[in-house]
Amino acid sequence: MSLEQYRDVWAYCVAEKGKLTRPSLEILAAARKVADQIGQKVGAVLVGYGLDQVVDEAIARGADLVVYADEPWLSSYLCLPYTRVVCEMAEKLKPYALIFVADELGRDLSPRVAYRLNTGLATDNISLAVEDYYFGPLNTTFKNVIAQIRPDFATRVAKIFTPRHRPQIASIRPGNYEPLPEDWSRKGEKIRFRPQPNPEDFSVQIIEEKEVPKSSIDLEGATVVVTIGLGILKDGAGNPKNPKEGYEIAKKLVDLLKEKYGVKSELGATRALIHAELKELEGLVTSERQVGQTGKTVSPEIYVALGVSGSVQHRVGMIKSKKIIAINTDPKAPIFEIAHYGIRGDLYQLVPNIIGLLGGGAGGR
Ligand SMILES: Cc1cc2nc3c(=O)[nH]c(=O)nc-3n(C[C@H](O)[C@H](O)[C@H](O)COP(=O)(O)OP(=O)(O)OC[C@H]3O[C@@H](n4cnc5c(N)ncnc54)[C@H](O)[C@@H]3O)c2cc1C
């Protein structure tokens, strides 16, 4: 079968409590963007039990077709049966691309599906585009393939192509696409699969399921994120500071915005600060607060970076913020390349003044 015969951009969607999850809505929007560029359809893939409502929701949220398996034995996620079902769907209908959310489930399922379908996978993308790709060894240009855009290990953002195989499989980190608005007047095709359970897939059985309490730290949902980095370890003159002081100044700004202005605000941190495992910040600055490639992706109205250099791994987690304010002593800090408001200076001097101006008490302390 020629590559051109593979059609449609599928998004593997997940439902929770009868609704599609927000990251599923995001990848439907990503699929829509790719599909529109190549004149193809968006397919939502759903595997589970009791899916009637979410099948319709997927159409309202941008899917032109929904490919689904709705069986009692699929009611809980298990990687082997789910892999088999998704592969059967793809082998039968031959999609051009298959997109997953780069979360725990997507990271488990997508490589297994890619392996069984004998195709490539680029994980943890922040964006997808459609481009022509010239492949030197074959002296061939592949038309209209997906450029999978993701941060590299060093300081680059890489584009990955898997032009010679279909479906092109990608996972996208949550927080990088805005869901499409709901439109319940949309019509779509529903393709129900009726797979049979294969006993070989049930070497693991689920005995009990317990919901893990949700963390009270909601970085992704915050309107303002104030992030601290290793810059809190010294003042503007280079003298060592107790990092707890830097933490408390930032926390005071967060609390002021919450309490006086009613703005949903959260404290974030860089990976370098969290990994420093400073005893002064024990229990206060934990990995739940990490923003970046290996942490959370945030897109608040305002992002305040205090003593953060702005490494590429940090940037990919906050670049979609509407307004970025950076305070840094180093005028060459990369964070200034993306800041809408860049202030060169010592956070220990500037932040208390800002707190004072916002009515948070003289000097902010
Ligand atoms: C695979 C991989 C994944 C990674 N994932 C992430 C991730 O998810 N998130 C993340 O954040 N990092 C991540 N990193 C680490 C990343 O590369 C950087 O090391 C890290 O972001 C740097 O953190 P920082 O800005 O706090 O520290 P630094 O780079 O040390 O920057 C500190 C900044 O503070 C400034 N400063 C110093 N004193 C003051 C002061 N008194 N007032 C104001 N400014 C001051 C300095 O000028 C400097 O720019 C990852 C790295 C790798 C290799």
Q: For position 364, what pLDDT does the model report? A: 45
Q: Is the dihedral of CA 165, 171, 177, 182 positive or negative?
A: positive
Ligand 1 and 307: CB distance under 6 A: yes
Decide: 329 in ligand 1 pocket, CB within 6 A: yes
Ligand 1 in reach of 295 Cβ (< 6 A): yes
Same domain membership, residue 298 and residue 195: no
Domain around 190: 3-202
**Whole-structure pTM value:** 0.80
pLDDT at 151: 78
Write the CATH number for 28: 3.40.50.620
Q: What are 111-161's pLDDT values in tens digits? A: 999 999 999 999 999 999 999 999 999 999 999 999 999 877 656 778 999
Identify whether 213 is part of a domain: no
Question: Are residue 197 and residue 248 in the same domain, yes or no?
Answer: no
Instruction: Pinpoint the alpha helices (H) of the chain.
Output: 22-38, 52-60, 79-93, 104-116, 243-259, 271-275, 312-315, 335-338, 347-357
Residue 167 lies in a domain: yes
294 lines ligand 1 (CB under 6 A): yes
For residues 193 and 245, membership in a common domain is answered with no
Q: Is there a single domain that holds both residue 189 and residue 232?
A: no
Q: Is the CB of 318 under 6 A from ligand 1?
A: no
Residues 146 and 269 in one domain: no
User: With the C-alpha atoms ordered 301, 302, 308, 309, is the resulting torsion angle positive or negative?
Assistant: positive
Examine the domain organization and report whether 192 and 45 are in the same domain: yes
**SS3 letters across 154-203:** CCCEEEECCCCCCCEEEEECCCCCCCCCCCCCCCCEEEEECCCCCHHHHC
State whether 107 and 188 are in the same domain.
yes
CATH number at residue 239: 3.40.50.1220
If asked whether residues 229 and 198 sit together in one domain, one would say no
Regions of the chain with pLDDT less than 50 = 363-365
The CB of 270 under 6 Å from ligand 1? The reply is yes
Q: Choose the final residue of a domain: 202, 237, 263.
A: 202
- The per-residue pLDDT for 365 is 46
Q: What is the pLDDT of residue 103?
A: 93
Do 40 and 170 lie in one domain? The reply is yes
Q: Decide if 208 is inside a domain.
A: no
The verdict on residue 215 lying in a domain is no
Same structural domain, 128 and 230: no
- Alpha carbon nearest to ligand 1 atom 27, residue: 230
- Burial class of 111 by CB neighbour count within 10 A (0 to 12, 13 to 18, 19+): middle
Residues 251 and 344 in one domain: yes
In a domain, 65, yes or no: yes
Tell me if 42 is assigned to some domain: yes
Inside any domain, residue 147: yes
The residues near 19 (Cβ < 8 Å, ≥ 6 apart) are 53, 54, 57
State the pLDDT at residue 350.
97
**Whether 178 and 233 share a structural domain:** no
314 C-alpha vs ligand 1 centroid, how far in Å? 7
Ligand 1 pocket: which of 270, 281, 319, 336 to mutate (most atoms within 8 A of CB): 270
Residue 327 near ligand 1, beta carbon < 6 Å: yes
Is the preceding peptide bond at 213 cis, omega within 30 degrees of 0?
A: no
- 344 Cβ inside 6 Å of ligand 1: no
Pocket test for ligand 1, best of 253, 289, 308 (most atoms within 8 A of CB): 308
212 found inside a domain: no
Cβ contact 342:319 at 8 Å: no
Q: Could you give the number of structural domains in the chain?
A: 2
Amino acid identity for residue 14 in this structure: V
